[in-house]
A and B are shown apart, each in its own frame.
Chain A
Amino acid sequence: MNGKKPPIFGETFNRRFGKSWLVGGYVFLYLPIVALVIYSFNDSPLPTTWGGFTFKWYGKLVNDTEMLSGFWLSLKVAFFTACASVVLGMFAAFTLVKYKRFFGRTMFTGMVNAPLVMPEVIVGLSLLLMLVSVQRWLGFPERGAATIWMGHLLLGLAYATVVIQARLQDLNPQIEEAAMDLGAKPHQVFYLVTMPMIAQALASAWLLTFTLSLDDVVLSAFLSGPGSTTMPLVIFSRARLGLNPSVNAVATVIIFVVSIAVITASYLIARAERQRAKEIAAAQRS
């Protein structure tokens, strides 16, 4: 009777409004990043006045030993955090998706998810107090890279599990069952069938936990010992004192490297995915 009535709110209600809301949101998200990059080339040490174009802050960075040693420590911790997070996260995601019934499942789910939201000061404090208690009792571990790694792994495990779990849930279980029917042992099914299918999620989880670890301040502050200062701790202590142009230069380097890594990785992942889809389609045709 009333003809065509586009049912979706937002399609009738002004497409332009939706678009400008999205554009506004993205401007909000990217404004600080753009500002950091621009001011890293500012000749004036005052962040609010433009004193001409310069590379001098990058030159100072090369000789900044505190920042550089922090950078190497952060890189090491982040690498091991990412590797361990992906392995443990894969186990945890597998548990949540495949094993619906086991003793203490509710508690397991809670403990995997809680670090996603738990204030970091609480996690950092509690982990440190435990490590101190253990140290009084056994004489180790000394606070340093290893203890920072333990804290980061707790956070990394939670994020890796979410990423891998999302992919595992979308998998068709019939493919694994077929492999099982053809005589593959459980571990063979896992390595030959499941792993390649979730490789994309494993890669994203690795990258995500790597960058999370590279960026963490609070856990690192609680768990680092004398002589183990990570890069975010150096940046944080300088940022606390006020604005510092060298921080802008570090920021620009990090943003540049991370963007290239993420864009390259997502391009490679998308290509591998397309290739796989093509192969599956070809296999189904024949």
Chain B
Amino acid sequence: MSANRFVARLRKSKLLSGRSAVIGVPYAWLLVFFLLPFLIVMKISVSEMETVHFKDLLTYKDGLLQLTLKFSNYEFIAEDPLYFKTYLASLKYAAITTVISLLIGYPFSYFMARAKASLQPALLMMVMLPFWTSFLLRVYAWKGLLGENGWVANLLEWLHVDHLLVAAGLIPALGKFMNTPFSLVLGMVYTYLPFMILPLYANLAKMDLRLLEAAADLGATPWTTFWKVTVPLSKAGIIAGSMLVFIPCVGEFVIPELLGGPETLMIGRVLWDEFFGNNDWPMASGVAVVMILLIIVPLAIFNKYQAEAQEAR
């Protein structure tokens, strides 16, 4: 009967209550499948590569427990200018993508939120719908659109935008759009634009319009009201949207692989090549750890704003 008593005691201590199950199941899942793997990556990044597998950190030999830490992966990343350039390029393209997404997405969400109330569900649905269809296929489609004689390539040439892009250094030669920084950024803006629009729209749609009226009553022009009231009030949406675009862009793999050229090396591709090409698991882990260090500040900001948004309601 001791087993029953044990269960009874567990019940009493609330460990078996519905509440702890509701919290415990997803919590345990995340600890095992999200947190633990990161710790293992950190471990492997300082272990030595053997022919097939990485070596254990702790070895027990001749009555001695040995701990072998190997930091040469990190030294290599720090010394080889290729890695430095790649990390820098990843941050640069992610930043450019975020700014362009904000410039397109902010007015978009603004006009969406100020459209007729009856129209808004349909407008929102139309932003969501591409989201439901395959991201991979939509990125692939740009290959054809930007390629020689593609629709967009023809349009850009007809508009003489290519002169502008060459001047900005985004494409190497007139008429060449595919496999350039331009096609890479276009693909990333295209893919992540909905991630900018949705949090901004949610924020702008629930804004109290009486505040804008009050500002107008006090003599502010529409422009001033916009800059002094609307924009500051939508700060949380701007930050959430920007982080939702910036962080995944830093480590993006599929878009650089399909739309980027040889000169637009990004860190996601380097990690992929270290892992699948060179089979160097410790090196790939080292690249991943440095990437995590690069995004840890924006990640913390994102989490803070998410938590605040959750508390605020």
Q: Is the CB of A36 within 8 A of B288?
A: no
Interface string of A46-62 (1 = CB under 8 A from B): 01110000000000000
Q: Which of B156-164, B169-177, B247-255 contacts A (4 or more CB under 8 A)?
A: B247-255
Q: Is the CB of A39 within 8 A of B144?
A: yes
| A38: min CB distance to chain B, Å | 10
Chain A residue numbers with a CB within 8 Å of B215 are 7
CA–CA, A114 and B152, complex, Å = 35
A95 and B307 in contact, given A31-B152, A121-B271, A262-B129 (Cβ under 8 angstroms):
no
CA–CA, A38 and B209, complex, Å = 43
Q: Is the CB of A111 within 8 A of B34?
A: yes
B232 adjacent to chain A (CB < 8 Å): no
CA–CA, A232 and B35, complex, Å = 27
Chain A residue numbers with a CB within 8 Å of B139 are 32
CA–CA, A97 and B313, complex, Å = 9
* Chain B residues bordering chain A, tally (CB within 8 A): 100
Q: Is the CB of A25 within 8 A of B303?
A: no
Q: Is the CB of A22 within 8 A of B144?
A: no
A243 and B136 in contact, given A22-B112, A94-B22 (Cβ under 8 angstroms):
no
B180 adjacent to chain A (CB < 8 Å): no
A127 adjacent to chain B (CB < 8 Å): yes
Chain A residue numbers with a CB within 8 Å of B126 are 26, 29
Q: Is the CB of A47 within 8 A of B144?
A: yes
| A interface with B by C-beta (< 8 Å) | 5-13, 18-19, 21-22, 25-26, 28-33, 35-36, 39, 47-49, 88-89, 91-92, 94-97, 99, 102, 104, 106, 108-123, 125-127, 129-130, 132-133, 136, 150, 153-154, 157, 161, 165, 169, 186-187, 207-208, 211, 214-215, 217-218, 221-222, 232, 235-236, 239-240, 243, 247, 250-251, 254-255, 258-259, 262, 266
A36 and B137 in contact, given A8-B209, A88-B26 (Cβ under 8 angstroms):
yes
Chain A residue numbers with a CB within 8 Å of B272 are 121
Chain B residue numbers with a CB within 8 Å of A150 are 33
Question: What are some 25 contacts across the A-B interface (CB < 8 A)?
Answer: A8-B212, A18-B110, A18-B111, A22-B123, A29-B127, A32-B190, A39-B144, A88-B29, A91-B22, A91-B25, A94-B22, A109-B303, A109-B307, A112-B26, A120-B251, A121-B253, A121-B288, A125-B284, A126-B37, A129-B37, A211-B132, A236-B254, A239-B136, A239-B143, A255-B134
Chain A residue numbers with a CB within 8 Å of B41 are 122, 125-126, 129
CA–CA, A61 and B228, complex, Å = 57
| B interface with A by C-beta (< 8 Å) | 18-19, 21-23, 25-27, 29-31, 33-38, 40-41, 44, 53, 104, 107-108, 110-112, 114-115, 123, 125-127, 129-130, 132-145, 147-152, 190, 193-194, 197, 209, 212-213, 215-217, 222-223, 225-226, 230, 243-244, 247-248, 250-254, 257-258, 268, 271-272, 275-276, 281, 284-285, 288, 291-292, 295, 299, 302-303, 306-307, 310, 313
Q: Is the CB of A49 within 8 A of B149?
A: yes
Chain B residue numbers with a CB within 8 Å of A92 are 26
Q: Is the CB of A186 within 8 A of B125?
A: no
Chain B residue numbers with a CB within 8 Å of A114 are 34, 299, 303
Partner of A18, one of B114, B130, B230: B114
Q: Is the CB of B35 within 8 A of A251?
A: no
Task: List 16 additional A-B contacts (Cβ < 8 Å) besides A8-B222, A121-B253.
Answer: A9-B212, A10-B114, A10-B222, A11-B114, A22-B112, A25-B197, A33-B141, A36-B137, A88-B25, A92-B26, A97-B310, A150-B33, A235-B137, A250-B137, A251-B140, A259-B132
CA–CA, A207 and B131, complex, Å = 12
Q: Is the CB of A117 within 8 A of B299?
A: yes
Closest to A32 in B: B141
Q: Is the CB of B193 within 8 A of A254?
A: no
CA–CA, A255 and B292, complex, Å = 35
Q: Is the CB of B37 within 8 A of A119?
A: no
